Amino acid sequence: MQGLADGYFVLPYTIGNYLAPLLGESTLDESDPACATVVNDVAERTQKWLSVNGTRSVDWFHRELGKLVWNFIGMERDKNGLERLYQKFLHYEKSSRKTSGFLEQPIISIPHLKRLVGSLTSLS
């Protein structure tokens, strides 16, 4: 297990330098303009999220979504659980818009979720 955990944290920092020469590419240096662009984009998005002054914390959403996954689509999945989960997601999507205030796109893609629930329920 430790190897899996270590790989999870180390791999993103090492895989690019390993694969680039194998693909005939050069490794990317931190001074590359692409790096500066990405760093700036992330800083802007982070500032946007931090300036929301929402009513619920990120931890609250993580806990609630974790409970939903555990209770409705855990080891035992069925049509009823998927449909109930869909209704809960509708609620959280509306709540996330109210909490964040600036979202142009919902956090949870409802049309995608409808297709997913439809395809999964057809299997049961």
Tens of pLDDT along 75-109? 777 888 888 888 888 777 776 665 555 444 555 55
Structure confidence at residue 87 (pLDDT): 85
3-class secondary structure for 16-67? HHHHHHHCCCCCCCCCCHHHHHHHHHHHHHHHHHHCCCCCCCHHHHHHHHHH
Tens of pLDDT along 31-67? 889 889 999 999 998 888 777 777 777 788 788 888 8
Please tell me the least confidently modeled range out of 12-16, 69-73, 81-85: 12-16
C-alpha–C-alpha distance, residues 84 and 75, integer Å: 16
pTM above 0.75, yes or no: no
